[in-house]
Amino acid sequence: MNQIPMTLRGAERLREELNELKTVKRPRIIASIAEAREHGDLKENAEYHAAREEQGFCEGRIQEIEAKLSNAQVIDVTQMPKTGRVIFGATVTVLNIDTDEEATYRIVGDDEADFKQNLISVNSPMARGLVGKEADDVAIIKTPGGDVEYEILKVEYL
């Protein structure tokens, strides 16, 4: 399988979620199933079927997280050489040349991406247009509304 790029924070969040699923949610679901079994006839027991369905989702998520972590290429951007170039994990401050709006984005793995928190996926058009550039470079990002020019103001490795 291919390596999945992930920041140190992203890997830690996945480990926390995995721990939560295994130590809190899984035992709670098992207890719910045991309690529902005590109610008798399993064919028409809605609580039992709901708990079994929840168990399926939980086990699926556990397997998904374990697979991602086993294939993760964890990148600690603070340990990378400070070249001034935009790389995976870098925090980039850009200026939209057309609207004069300034924004700061962090380039992260697909699982960590959350545009509302200014975390953009390394596979997004925005990140692909920024990677490899340096401060004062202009990146042209292809969007559905047309090309947008961004000037890179600052590149940080936080």
Tens digit of each residue's pLDDT (9 = 90 or more) over 99-119:
999 999 999 998 899 989 999
Q: Using DSSP bridges, classify how beta strands 119-121 and 138-143 pair: parallel, antiparallel or unpaired.
A: unpaired
pLDDT 10s digits, 21-44: 999 999 999 999 998 888 877 777
Q: What is the reported pTM?
A: 0.78
Judge whether 130 and 87 are in contact, CB under 8 Å: no
Please tell me whether residue 132 adopts helix, strand or coil conformation: coil
Q: Quote the DSSP letter at residue 144.
A: T
Shortest CA distance to 125 belongs to which of 150, 101, 100, 97?
Answer: 150
Report the alpha-carbon distance of residue 152 to residue 132 in Å, rounded.
11
Please report which confidence band the pLDDT of residue 144 belongs to, taking 50, 70 and 90 as the band edges.
confident
pLDDT 10s digits, 57-76: 999 999 999 999 999 999 98
Whether 1 shows a pLDDT value over 60: the answer reads no
Q: Quote the DSSP letter at residue 116.
A: G
Whether 143 shows a pLDDT value over 70: the answer reads yes
- Say which residues have a Cβ less than 8 Å from residue 82's Cβ, sequence separation at least 6: 157
